Structure 1
Amino acid sequence: MPRLLIVAAIAASYFVFAILLNSVGTVILQSINTFDISKPEASVLEGFKDLSIAGVSFLIASFIPRIGYKIAMLIGLAMVGILCALTPSIASFWVIKLLFAGVGTAFALVKVSVYAIIGQVTDSTKSHSSLMNTIEGIFMLGVLSGYWIFSAFIDPLNTASASWLNVYYFLALLLLAALLLVMAAPITTPAKEELPGQALGDFVAMIKLAYQPLVLIFVLSIFLYVLIEQGIGSWLPTFNREVLGLPVNISIQITSIFAVSLAIGRLGAGAILTKVHWYPFLNSCLVLMALIMLLSLPLATRVPEGTVLSLFDAPLAAFLVPMIGLMMAPIYPVINSVMLSSLPRPQHAPMTGLIVVFSALGGTTGSIITGYVFEALGGQTAFYFSLIPIVLILVTLFFFKRSSHSMTRPAN
């Protein structure tokens, strides 16, 4: 029973943060409608979220065991719960930015704590892997739920209305429920063994690691991948609304296909990679990503207002564009696996720091660039621009493979 309560607490926390973290695309679309801001202005939300995660993960991760994982999670949940409760009453874009900064900060506390707690409640590699996959699966369930939860609070007849902000009252209740579960869960306080200078030591180790040519190629690949994923994922609801002319609620709901595609793509890749080498497989994925963009974007023409009343009325392009997630899904976990498996275990922590930082930078850059191009040249052109980093990843993977040829363990 105590273990079950702990698992329920961390799963509930991950579920609600999945909704908040992956609501950026929806909130960008609604902020443009409600607060009458430009697309470049709206694009900064990704930065408030991602840079907060990166900064807090790096700066205080080594101090979290000192205050205890339970307290760290309670701080994160309470902070975001308060921000969610305040957001609808203030109803301003600056508080949306503050909310995403808070979500990023809190998720860094929660993620570090959850990963450590999983180690506390499992006693073997097999059970650890099983629980980790379960928690990440619940996170994906939260991602999918978020699109439908947000769309339920949007008035399709008055897209400029701020009534959609009431969704944050509902999310505040979910956060309260997760907080109560964490309070009740018998999460143990870790032994405070970390030295005061460990954070500085981690920073120095990370910088030294980044000097290696293989690592430089790897972090560039990570940066480019997340640039594509966040550029498309964050702007897909706006693309559906402004390029295809879909109603706002359906624009958001149909974006869930992107999340489903990512989930299916990663599950399928796990099976495929037991039989094929990662390098030709990822090259095939990148080529197919480019083909999906080249085939689907010419079909993206605006439908007449009032002709789309449900998902089943949406044009073919609305379903094809998010299917790129199937092909891009394996890239990020596979190159992470290849890189980490090439390093001795003591270097995994600083490498994880580099992954978090460059993922955040890539996500923020992708969202901002897409926002500016979307504003200046239109949504189709903005999505066509994803072909550039796709080609660049093909190049970086070539050098990455050549530099990592001495590795003996395959990435699965």
Structure 2
Amino acid sequence: MSRDLAKGARVRLSELTGDSELRLGVTLDAPGVAFDFSVFGLDADERLSDDRYFVFFNQPASPENAIELLSPQDGDQASFRLRLDSVPAQVHRMALTATLDGDGTMAQVSSGHVRLLAGGQEVVRYSFTGTEFSTERAVMLADVYRRAGAWSIVAVGQGFDGGLQALLENYGGEVLEEDPAAAPAPALVPAAPVPVVAAAPAPAAEPASARVSLLKYAELPEQTGWLQQNPQLVRFTLAKNAEVLALQGSMVAYQGEADFSHESSGVLRKLIGNLTGQQLKLMRVRGDGQVFLADGASQLHVVRLEGESLCVGADRILAFDAGLDIEVRRIEGEGLPGGGFHTLQFSGHGTLVVKTSGTPVVLEVTPAPETQVDINALVAWTRGSQVITTAPVRIRRSGVAGRSAETCTLQFRGGPGNFVIVQPYEA
């Protein structure tokens, strides 16, 4: 049974079929209008991976035949065979597009569809009409993309004003027209220029729409659990019985239904009560949708625990799965602000999100020599590491006569597999 997709909807291919050889079929019904269909093999930056991965009528297959243009089949105007097992690692996305060959606009399409077939059977279909477009001369129809080793399909339906040339340049290629003097066209039947892909990008002939200009910032494809949207933003997909604890005020956006409980019970009361002075105030998040979290443009790091234990500075936590085991610990010693500071020890199976000021470094901890870390730069460490408070060190500030400051370092020792995370920042 085929599944219908609305514009913007996506589905994992594993939910539709177990086949790795698939066929994309496409039809656009617009009397008097001709179309060219293409598939772009794009890299992780949404750019043409290689000019050989622009598959169209003049280049009907990629080098290893992972993408292949077929003759029209089963009533479709165009068909492409996709061999997922042969798609090279640098190709993350295969974008199916249509461009007008001659005059007209996409608004003239009375009906259209993209469908995916496995073993000759249709498994998913995206249908649309020209009422979704206006003056566009090209359209991004659908993408088959790879995320975390799994393939999915998304119905895009995004019109593009500039036609084939602007579409190619958007993906990092260029259309070059043949010299008219070298190959004159018949006067009564103008010949359409043959697209040739050039490696170097060129300025777009026509300005792209605002949405197309911002495509590189688009929300990443749907997946369950935690996802790193960008270095300063994470996304959690809420589901039944899934709860997370996050720093109050860290929610920047959410989609669907989400409940944010600023409560002081259970683990929240324990954490807030013990972390006096750390200003760690948490909220419980539950519901059915997607929540985006950030904090002051700090760099965020999604850390997965598989039975391990990690100690994290209380001011370095953004969010964590509610199912993790948590223990509040205090490290005390001479020279530490307030005589000591609190950390959270996370254990079990689950995910936590750690924030840093700048890109951190992970240092291996060994029995000797010991690793010394300024407490202001400390982020986290493995539970198996031995932590020793050292005496404060007085440091004279360069260029400031008579002024000095004290800093306190922590000494870490440990065996194989132990490490400490340090950020490039000192308060």
Tell me the TM-score range normalised by the shorter chain: under 0.3
Greater RCO, CA 8 A, separation 6+: 1
Higher Rg of the two aligned structures: 2
Q: TM-score, normalised by structure 1?
A: 0.24
Q: TM-score, normalised by structure 2?
A: 0.23
Q: Which structure has more strand as a fraction of its residues?
A: 2
